[in-house]
Chains A and B, each alone.
Chain A
Amino acid sequence: MLKRLKILWAGLRQLSGDDAYERYVHYYTTHQMHACQHHCEPLLSKKEFFKRWQDEKWQGIKRCC
């Protein structure tokens, strides 16, 4: 039961974007560090990341009738 609630909570966080920064940090540590040797984009702060994520999310048609 507790496990199910945890999955539900994790789903809700992912659906709303609540955990977007955590996922980004995870992505950064697993991809970016290995991928680039010469020129690396530094890890964004939570505020900076959220700004960029929100602005990107609202380019183009996102809602329908």
Chain B
Amino acid sequence: MNTSFQNFLWLLTAVLGAGAVGGIALNRGETIDALWFITAAVCIYVIAYRFYSAWIASKVLLLDKTRATPAERLDNGRDFVPTHRWIVFGHHFAAIAGPGPLVGPTLAAQFGYLPGTLWILIGAVLGGCVQDMVILFCSTRRDARSLGQMARDELGRLGGIAALIATFVIMIILIAVLGLVVVNAMKHSPWATFTVAATIPIAMVVGIYMRHFRPGQVLEASGLGVALLLLSVASGGWIDGNTELRGWFDHEGLTLAWWVMAYGFAAAILPVWLLLAPRDYLSTYVKLGTISLLAIAIVFLSPEIKMPAFTQFVDGTGPIFGGKLFPFVFITIACGAISGFHSLISSGTTPKLLTNELDIRMIGYGGMLLESFVAMMAMIAATVLDPGVFFAINSPSGVVGKEAIDAVAKITSWGYPVTVEQMQLLAKQMGESSLFARTGGAPSLAVGMASIFGSVFGEHLLALWYHFAIMFEAIFILTTLDAGTRVGRFMLQDMLGNIWPKMGETSWLPSVLFSSAIVVLSWGYFLYIGVIDPNGGVNILWPLFGIANQMLAAIALCVATGILIKSGKVKQAWITGLPLLWLIIITNCAAWEKLTSPDLRVGFFSAANDMATKLASGALPAEKAAIAPQLIFNLHLDGYLTIFFVVLLWLIVLDMLRMASRFLLGQTVLPSTEVPHRQTQLLAEWIRD
């Protein structure tokens, strides 16, 4: 293809992308076609990948195809293995894409479709993708070391400790909020509860099959597992219809929360091959399959977006979570725009497979672009619902009232008409008794997905699609939950090992039981409070998770910026420095709001004080008064946790700035731990293409 024709194509992409973004930004009509969103996203991704990531790769990071990667130098045929780039891409994407990009955009849709959409697009191409790519680069040049190790080696001991603690705390909050999402999807839904419960024995069957019956036959076993999963979705409908059996699976949120905790504890102490590994295989197949199916359905059907560009809730009065558009849209959508957690996969795990440095661009930058696209689809699936229905599903009973009639009256009064009949019909179609107050994002996403799929495969299958979508989300939420609990256990054992070496032995049973119990109790506490909180728990937990995740991203960007400055790339350090600055601004503003806002649904301390006053004066109804002391304690705890996050963040930012200024003044800093160049022996082309 000649150059002028290529240039013309790029210009066309740019014009098309700009047109699509302009179209969705300026549209004030009743509805807008989802195809505009897809077009805007794809054009922006393609241009950013072609130009920005190429510039970073060749001018900033100076990727060197002749340099041997850790996979080549340390090749051991097991974990360090030079691997074809598309396979690495698959592993990397499967590892970074979890429930985050599905839940965050669904919740942020309360502001309207536009703020979330713009943040997903801009945040990803300028922030998240750059973070993932630069961290992947840094770790590849350092024998695939983890983020915590790099922070310690490059910034200092303080940085290392901060990264370790941040990772641990974010894990606890993440597991709690994800547990809450699953509990809200399962409560009083025998069909969903049965399907989710069935994934556990199915995973065990698959685990035993691969370990003992036919060792190593992964695909065979996974095929069996996926077939059983689909069967369990279908048979859930039969259970639901059976008056006797359905009682076994019809539970209150709190009962389910205890079960989720018991499950997390079991998963942390059972051998990985029995539960964790097979469940992960299943969730990966189901995840990749469903996401591809959703993408195809959205592109071909191009459903109408019914949510307005902005809602009145940008002023901070939103029913799903309190807080103004700035900074809370940036906190609510973390995964999908920029997610600190990715830096843990980009360092340590993925670099062990890279065959050639040039692949860093496609895997680091490209992988995150794809995750951002998943977030876009979640945004589309949430906004194709009638806004009235969206708010009816997602508003907690503490905000709109417990009775259906009160809830619809309240939601209609906001200007989003919805009726009790409409909700009853929808619930019946989806095979549920009620869809009110199912806060958390999973059920509304499932309704959105079911209506998209239902329009292709027939309306009579709506209930099946809904429960398939619930199973799809639940299975990888539980995978994150059990993998997270186990990792938390290892981290805790490691930390305790510094105090009493015996505790550090990962196979010593008392230590295993003790540390697993501590980890489960930690997230279990937040889950418990989230379930009993009449305001839905998500209102408190999701912003806390967002702040923690963005803080981890800020730590990763500090490490990246520090390394860039130390390598003499001071002039280009803005590629990570600017996203870092933005994260510092939003996390600090959000933390400030959470600590000082007089709005009872935003400020932790004002809510605690208000509740304490009401409790003392006897103004609370009996059922609320019973749980008030726990809620007050929790609000204080959340407030102090927020302060802790901010202090941790500033410690590491100041540590990085100290290191950078010493370097610029010509004083001594910790030496770079980059491994010296060694010529690759791999005939790169045949293995890569």
Contacts and interface: CB of A to CB of B under 8 A. Distances in A.
A63 B86 CA distance: 19
B272 A65 contact: no
Given A63-B280, A65-B341, A20 B222 contact: no
Interface in B229-265: none
The dominant DSSP class at the A interface is helix
Interface string B514-543: 000000000000000000000000000000
Given A50-B215, A64-B342, A65-B100, A11 B87 contact: yes
Contacts of B280: 62-63
Contacts of B215: 46-47, 50-51
Chain B's interface size range is: 35 or more
A54 B277 contact: yes
A53 B215 CA distance: 12
B96 A64 contact: yes
A15 B91 contact: yes
B77 interface: yes
A21 B87 CA distance: 16
A47 B216 CA distance: 7
A19 to B, nearest CB: 9
A54 B278 CA distance: 10
B335 interface: yes
Contacts of A51: 211, 215, 273
Given A61-B348, A63-B95, A64-B95, A15 B90 contact: yes
Given A12-B219, A51-B273, A57 B79 contact: yes
The dominant DSSP class at the B interface is helix
A56 B217 contact: no
A65 B273 contact: no
B345 interface: yes
Given A16-B219, A21-B216, A49-B216, A60 B272 contact: no
B450 to A, nearest CB: 24
A20 B276 contact: no
Contacts of A53: 78
A35 B561 CA distance: 40
A27 B77 contact: yes
A20 B219 CA distance: 12
Given A15-B90, A27-B77, A53-B78, A64 B345 contact: yes
A49 B218 CA distance: 13
Interface string A1-36: 000000000011111111011011001100100000
Contacts of B98: 63-65
A63 B483 contact: yes
A59 B222 CA distance: 21
A52 interface: yes
Nearest to B146: A60
B83 interface: yes
A50 B83 CA distance: 18
Contacts of A55: 272-273
Interface of A: 11-18, 20-21, 23-24, 27-28, 31, 46-47, 49-65
30 contacts: A11-B84, A11-B86, A11-B90, A15-B90, A16-B218, A24-B78, A27-B75, A27-B77, A46-B216, A50-B215, A51-B211, A51-B215, A52-B78, A54-B273, A54-B277, A55-B272, A56-B78, A57-B277, A58-B272, A58-B483, A61-B344, A61-B348, A61-B349, A61-B487, A62-B280, A62-B345, A64-B98, A64-B344, A65-B100, A65-B549
